[in-house]
Amino acid sequence: MTFRQRVSFIICLDSFIVLTSIYFSRFLVNATIDIITAPIVISSITLLLSHHLFSFLFKLYKKAWEYASIGELIIILKSITYSIVCTAIVQEITISDTYYRLLTVTWFLHILLIGGARLCWRIYRDASHNKGLNKKPTLIIGAGAAGTMVVRQLLNNIDSELLPVAFIDDNVKKQNLHILGIPVVGGVERVESTVKKLNIENIIIAIPSLRKKELNMILQECTKTKAKTKILPMLEDLVTGKVSVNQFREVQVDDLLGREAIELDIEMISDSITNKVVLVTGAGGSIGSEICRQVSKFNPKTLVLLGHGENSIYTIEMDLKEQYGNSLIEFVTEIADLQDEMKMRLVMEKYRPNVIYHTAAHKHVPLMERNPEEAVKNNLIGTVNVANAAKLSGVETFVMISTDKAVNPTSVMGATKRLAEMMIQDMNKNSSTKFVAVRFGNVLGSRGSVIPLFKKQIEKGGPVTVTHPDMVRYFMTIPEASRLVIQAGALARGGEIFILDMGEPVKIVELAKNLIKLSGNSVEEVGIEFTGIRPGEKLFEELLNKDEVHEKQVYPKIYIGKTANLLVEEINELILTYATEDKEVLKNRLLNIANNRVESRKLISISS
């Protein structure tokens, strides 16, 4: 039916309803007027014309009644009331009398029939949409404004495969009520029983304002079921009406951490970055690129994007220019190798950065076990080259990205990172540059993260591969890691190792199980296969050596580790001779120095 045909049909239907209302009212009130006398004819014509007039004014004929709601019913009420008032005025003018009982009954019948017709349209549409369709029963957690909006959209969307059948809400005042025809069956503790009772296939968490800890508690209940769980987008998307049923996001691993993100000291960071020259090495990487985005929020004068891979540097450059193109920030790129000492010095001389965030490194543990010389060249020598160049050009602050694998290292990657920490701590003693390091746990979403692998394995039907049933790790998100780096730069006094309070370590096998369950699968169907610990891996990671522990926080969720022994002479000797060493011999030398298992000719001890 075209728009014109639709409007013509509604006008004819409304005309019939208007005339039926006034003539039927005459019999109900037992009025003394005859149905063909002047008063009733005048009233009928006036009511009919005024109804259509106000219907056009309020755009009543342009409404999609299959999606009618309270708003449309209010418009109907206004149109009919104004029509009755106009009819009463005309009666008073033309016949010097007003039939109040007749008009009152007509008003009631008018509303009943016009509203009822629209409601029948909506009921027919809902019934035809759901009849015979293979929709999936869906549980909505959260019966507030967001949850109600979700249910309304799901019911109105014929293409959606989700059919809301129940609400879950901890607000006892809402429990046992029906919202949009959907019952509120109880609190979060009823999730598991409700899923079983109603054969729920999907769960949607529709509480955008949830804190991480609260969300984690709800997710733990959801993992007890076989239903697939999704989460509503951000609240601002709901307010602007941009959200659609296809935008419910999958549960992310960071939702399971139950830890609130670190907040920044805006004023402190602004003092260290705003209108300054900032250089980021490894700017195209997952951490480096996020640091660039975070730094750009503080309006540096110049942001130098330095990296070895041209494609990744080009990508972050375009991303930043698109996002901050209207700002006064100058974005410049440098394709360079950290192992090129002269190039590092030329870059520093050219831009004279105030702050350097050194994120470039080889991070893949098994690959570095097979290629220890490359780990030395990139992680150790590359860091020394950049740090020396920073020192010579008078850089104010140098922040190096380290890892929890640098604590009591058992891998080549961890050992080279620990040696790099030692070298910059030694440089800090005789330099105006403040050298600091920041240690991370595992970064969710980074290129080396295990989570993307788990998701791919689940999509393929499994099994999910885990190295060992007892393996545990600390986890943090890319934004968290980036914020910590930036905050550490602002807190730097020189020589510190900053560590984030990362909460409790997470058991990898439990993480895998939760991902499987929240994807709507069972652990038995997908399966988990234990492959054994890989070379260089530990069952658990530490953030601080026992000699480095410093219990006091210097900033909410940020600790400083005490500085331990530095084996500078041994590290310099290794740098000079590593290329001639057998791989196994080189690995042993790295681990011995990193773990202070050498008879040092020059053991330097410094403290914070």
Among the residues of 145-296, which ranges form H helices?
Answer: 145-156, 191-198, 212-222, 235-239, 266-273, 286-296
Average the pLDDT over 200-223 and give the result: 84
Q: What are phi and psi of 333, to 5 degrees?
A: -120, 145
Average the pLDDT over 121-145 and give the result: 72
Confidence of residue 200 (pLDDT cuts 50, 70, 90): very high
Which helix (H) or strand (E) segment is 347 a member of?
helix 341-351
Amino acid 367: pLDDT: 92
Catalytic residues: 405
Task: Name the DSSP letter for residue 168.
Answer: E
Q: What is the pLDDT of residues 456-471, one digit of tens each?
A: 888 888 898 988 888 8
Q: What is the pLDDT of residues 481-519, one digit of tens each?
A: 788 788 888 888 888 888 876 666 778 888 888 788 777
Amino acid 279: pLDDT: 97
Q: What is the pLDDT of residues 394-417, one digit of tens each?
A: 999 999 999 888 888 989 999 999
The CA distance from 566 to 426, in Å, is 7
Average pLDDT, the chain: 81
Q: What is the pLDDT of residues 303-312, one digit of tens each?
A: 999 999 999 9
Residue 480 has pLDDT above 50, yes or no: yes
Residue 359 has pLDDT above 80, yes or no: yes
Amino acid 243: pLDDT: 47
Positive or negative CA dihedral for 295, 301, 307, 310? positive
Most confident of 28-37, 373-382, 402-411: 373-382
Instruction: Please report, for residues 21, 39, 157, 529, the alpha-carbon distance to residue 24 in angstroms, rounded to integers and kept in the order given.
Output: 5, 15, 39, 77
Are the C-beta atoms of residues 182 and 154 closer than 8 Å to each other?
A: no
The CA distance from 475 to 481, in Å, is 10
Q: What is the pLDDT of residues 553-597, one digit of tens each?
A: 777 777 887 666 788 999 999 999 998 889 999 999 999 998 888
309 CA to centre of own chain: 28
Amino acid 236: pLDDT: 45
Residue 132 has pLDDT above 50, yes or no: no
Q: Tell me the three state secondary structure of residue 502.
A: coil
Spatial CA neighbour of 22 closest among 118, 88, 120: 88
Residue 112 has pLDDT above 90, yes or no: no
Are the C-beta atoms of residues 435 and 424 closer than 8 Å to each other?
A: yes
Q: Tell me the three state secondary structure of residue 136.
A: strand
Amino acid 68: pLDDT: 58
Spatial CA neighbour of 151 closest among 70, 242, 232, 209: 232
- Percent of the chain beyond pLDDT 70? 81
Amino acid 318: pLDDT: 95
Average the pLDDT over 297-326 and give the result: 93
Peptide bond before residue 208 is cis, with ω within 30 degrees of 0: no
Q: What is the pLDDT of residues 48-89, one digit of tens each?
A: 888 888 888 877 776 655 555 666 778 888 888 888 888 888
Looking at per-residue confidence, does 532 or 389 come out higher? 389
Instruction: Please report, for residues 191, 251, 456, the alpha-carbon distance to residue 463 in angstroms, rounded to integers and kept in the order given.
Output: 27, 20, 10
Structure tokens at 105: 């009954």
DSSP calls for 457-492:
HHHTT-PEEES-TT-EE-EEEHHHHHHHHHHHHHH-
Average the pLDDT over 429-446 and give the result: 82
Residue 326 has pLDDT above 70, yes or no: yes
Amino acid 64: pLDDT: 58
Confidence of residue 602 (pLDDT cuts 50, 70, 90): very low
Q: What is the pLDDT of residues 228-287, one digit of tens each?
A: 888 876 544 444 444 454 557 776 666 666 556 566 677 888 888 999 999 999 999 988
The CA distance from 99 to 33, in Å, is 10
Amino acid 503: pLDDT: 65
Number of CB atoms found within 10 A of residue 525's CB: 11
Amino acid 484: pLDDT: 78
The identity of residue 205, as a single letter, is I
Spatial CA neighbour of 366 closest among 326, 423, 413: 413
Rounded to the nearest 10°, the torsion over CA 187, 191, 193, 195 is: 140
387 CA to centre of own chain: 35
- Percent of the chain beyond pLDDT 90? 32
DSSP calls for 195-224:
HHHHT--EEEE--TT--HHHHHHHHHHHTT
Amino acid 292: pLDDT: 95
Which domains are assigned to the chain?
A: 3-129 (no CATH), 136-251 (3.40.50.720), 266-446+473-502+541-605 (3.40.50.720)
Residues contacting residue 89 through CB under 8 Å, at least 6 positions apart? none
Residue 299 has pLDDT above 90, yes or no: yes
506 CA to centre of own chain: 20
The identity of residue 537, as a single letter, is E
End-to-end CA separation in angstroms for the chain: 80
Rounded to the nearest 10°, the torsion over CA 530, 471, 291, 590 is: -100
Structure tokens at 331: 């974005």
Confidence of residue 123 (pLDDT cuts 50, 70, 90): low
Amino acid 217: pLDDT: 85
Average the pLDDT over 14-29 and give the result: 77
Residues contacting residue 54 through CB under 8 Å, at least 6 positions apart? 60, 78, 79, 82, 83
Are the C-beta atoms of residues 396 and 462 closer than 8 Å to each other?
A: no
Spatial CA neighbour of 205 closest among 157, 163, 240, 250: 250
Instruction: Please report, for residues 453, 509, 523, 526, 571, the alpha-carbon distance to residue 460 in angstroms, rounded to integers and kept in the order given.
Output: 11, 18, 14, 9, 46
Confidence of residue 603 (pLDDT cuts 50, 70, 90): very low
